[in-house]
Amino acid sequence: MSFSSLLTVDQATFADELQFVMECFSEVLHESGEPELARAIRGLAGEKPLELADGATERLIQALSIGFQLLGMVE
């Protein structure tokens, strides 16, 4: 077995797993009282554009950071 074969990633599986994890994260945000952030995270997948009320920027940055960490775990 070559090293390069270990790095092969099935793009469809990766996309499905990432979508599942981000949907779960969005659900957690919604249940934690952050429905606006939940919609913003879903918006990253192209469902709708990101629109946040004033003052939500810092929370969005934190949510995006967590989302990026989840992406790394899925990889």
- Please say whether the beta carbons of 38 and 29 come within 8 A: yes
* Predicted local confidence at residue 11, as pLDDT: 82
- Say yes or no to pLDDT of 70 above 80: yes
Structure tokens at 51: 């629109």
Q: Does residue 3 or residue 28 have the better pLDDT? A: 28
* Predicted local confidence at residue 42, as pLDDT: 81
pLDDT tens digits for range 9-59 = 688 888 888 889 989 999 999 999 999 888 888 877 665 656 666 667 788
Measure CA 25 to chain center.
7
pTM: 0.71
* Predicted local confidence at residue 1, as pLDDT: 47
